[in-house]
Amino acid sequence: MEFSSKLLENAVYEVSQLPGIGKRTALRLVLHLLKQPKEQTTRLAGALVSLKDQIKFCKNCHNISDVALCEICANPKRDETIVCVVEDIRDVMAIENTNQFKGHYHVLGGKISPMEGIGPHDLTVGSLINKVKEGQIKELIFALSSTMEGDTTNFYIYKQLEGLPVKTSTIARGIAVGDELEYADEVTLGRSILNRVPFENSFKT
Amino acid sequence: MEFSSKLLENAVYEVSQLPGIGKRTALRLVLHLLKQPKEQTTRLAGALVSLKDQIKFCKNCHNISDVALCEICANPKRDETIVCVVEDIRDVMAIENTNQFKGHYHVLGGKISPMEGIGPHDLTVGSLINKVKEGQIKELIFALSSTMEGDTTNFYIYKQLEGLPVKTSTIARGIAVGDELEYADEVTLGRSILNRVPFENSFKT
Q: What is the 3-state secondary structure (H, E, C) of A147-196?
A: CHHHHHHHHHHHHHCCCCCCEEEECCCCCCCCCCHHHCCHHHHHHHHHCC
pLDDT class of A11 with cuts at 50, 70, 90? very high
Q: Which chain A residues in 80-139 lie under 8 Å from chain B, judged by CB atoms?
A: 88-90, 92-93, 96-97
B6 chain-A contacts, CB cut-off 8 A = 66
Q: Please answer whether residues A49 and B85 qualify as being in contact, where contact means their C-beta atoms are separated by less than 8 angstroms.
A: no
* Higher-pLDDT residue of A129, A181: A129
With respect to residue B155, please indicate whether it lies within any of the assigned structural domains: yes
Model confidence at B44, pLDDT cuts 50, 70, 90, reads: very high
What's B27's domain CATH number?
1.10.8.420
pLDDT at A40: 94
The mean-pLDDT minimum among A52-56, B1-5, B26-30, B37-41 falls in: B1-5
More confident residue, A4 or B203: A4
Residues A81, A44, single domain; the answer is no
What local confidence, expressed as pLDDT, does residue B185 receive? Answer: 84
Residues of chain A found within 8 Å of residue B64, distances taken between Cβ atoms: 4-5, 8, 34
Q: For A45, which of B1, B21, B45 is closest by C-beta distance?
A: B45
Residue partners of B194: CB distance under 8 A and separation at least 6:
none
Q: What is the DSSP letter of A76?
A: T
Query: Inter-chain contact B52–A29, Cβ cutoff 8 Å?
Result: no
Q: Which residue did the predictor score with more confidence, B197 or B112? A: B112
Total CB pairs under 8 A between chain A and B: 170
Interface predicted TM-score (ipTM): 0.81
What average pLDDT does the structure give for chain A?
89
Q: Do A65 and B13 touch (CB under 8 A)?
A: no
The average pLDDT across B57-79 equals 92
Which residues on chain B are in Cβ contact (under 8 Å) with A19? 28-29, 32
**Per-residue model confidence (pLDDT) at position B77:** 95
Count how many domains chain A has: 2
Same domain, B70 and B166: yes
Identify whether the C-beta of residue B58 lies closer than 8 Å to the C-beta of residue B117: no
* Integer angstrom CA distances of residue A137 from A121, A131, A177, B152, B164: 22, 7, 31, 69, 84
Sequence-separated (6 or more) residues with CB below 8 Å from residue B106: B61, B62, B83, B84, B85, B86, B124, B127, B128, B131, B140
Of B15, B90, B97, the CB nearest to A44: B15
Contact A7 B66 (CB under 8 A): yes
Q: Using the predicted structure, report yes or no on whether residue B202 has a pLDDT greater than 80.
A: no
User: What mean pLDDT is predicted for residues A134-146?
Assistant: 90
Whether B18 is in a domain gets the answer: yes
Question: What one-character DSSP code corresponds to residue A91?
Answer: H
Q: State whether A93 and A41 are in the same domain.
A: no
Domain match, B15 and B93 both: no
CATH number, domain of A89, equals 3.40.1360.10
Q: Do residue B114 and residue B49 come from a single domain?
A: no
Q: Chain A, 22-51: which have a CB under 8 Å from a chain B CB? A: 25, 27-34, 38, 40-51
Please answer whether residues B14 and A47 qualify as being in contact, where contact means their C-beta atoms are separated by less than 8 angstroms.
yes
Residue B151: domain span:
64-171
- Predicted local confidence at residue B203, as pLDDT: 64
Q: Are residues B155 and B125 in the same domain?
A: yes
In angstroms, the separation between the Cα of residue B119 and the nearest Cα of chain A is: 15
Same domain, A46 and A79: no
User: Does one domain contain both B79 and B33?
Assistant: no
